[in-house]
Amino acid sequence: MAEPIRVVCTVTGTDRPGVSAALFEALTAYESDSAVRVEVRDVEQVTIRGKLTLGVSLAVHGDAGALASQLNKTCARLGLTAEVVIGATKPAKARKTRKQHVILLGRPLTATALAEAAARIAELGGNIDRITRLSKYPVTSLELIVSSTDGVELRKALAEAAKATNTDLAVEPAGLARRATRLVVFDVDSTLITGEVIEMLAEHAGRGPEVARVTEQAMRGELDFAESLRARVQQLKGLDAGVIQAVRADLRLTPGARTLVRTLKRMGYLCGVVSGGFTQITDQLVNDLHLDFSAANTLEIRDGKLTGEVVGELVDRPGKAKALRNFAAAARIPMSQTVAVGDGANDIDMITAAGLGIAFNAKPALRAVADTSLNQPYLDAILFFLGISRDEVEEADAGS
Catalytic residues: 187, 189
- Report the Cα 169 to chain-centroid distance in Å: 10
Half-sphere exposure (Cβ direction) of 11: Cα atoms closer than 13 Å:
29
How long is the chain? 400
Half-sphere exposure (Cβ direction) of 326: Cα atoms closer than 13 Å:
14
b/e for 347-356, b at 16 or more Cβ within 10 A? bbbbbebbbb
